[in-house]
Amino acid sequence: MVVLIDIVIILFFLTGMFFFMIGVLGLLRLQDVYLRMHATTKCDTLGATAILIGLAIYSLATGQASYGPLGSVFTAAKMIFIIIFIFWANPTAAHAIAKAAYLSGPDLYEGTVFDQYGPDVKDKMVAEKK
């Protein structure tokens, strides 16, 4: 049973590292700020989640904590709360950064087919000038 838990923990760690590596490749290879941000945000969220799940399982499996007999449960619960925060904060921050980048003017990649954000921003800018 211990070997099976170790294998599951290692698989979660490897999955997290895989997503982080894909995010780095996306950051290096993709053409504009929006594509890069999309790749890194998705991969950071999934990579951190996988590693934190692996750490939570490790904490529960070993049961070693300085907080007494329920310390490992509290540690795993903290990691679950961190995962929830990451799932909430990463997309929100990426959206705010994308909006700021769009308004500051970096051009879209020339291969972009449709600008979904443009009409909303242009309508707001016209309304603000009136």
Q: Which amino acid is at 31?
A: Q
Q: Model confidence at 87, in pLDDT bands (50, 70, 90)?
A: very high
Q: Return the higher-pLDDT residue of 69 and 94.
A: 94
pLDDT at 93 over 70: yes
Residue 79 makes CB contacts below 8 A (sequence gap 6+) with 52, 53, 55, 56, 59
> Does residue 11 register a pLDDT over 90?
yes
User: How large is the average pLDDT for residues 105-127?
Assistant: 67
Over 39-68, what HEC string results? HHHHHHHHHHHHHHHHHHHHHHHHCCCCCC
- Residue 35 in this model has a pLDDT that exceeds 60: yes
pTM metric for this prediction: 0.79
pLDDT given at position 73: 85
State both tokens at 73. Answer: 């449960």
Could you read off the pLDDT of 37-75 as tens digits, one per residue? 888 999 999 999 999 999 999 888 887 666 666 678 888
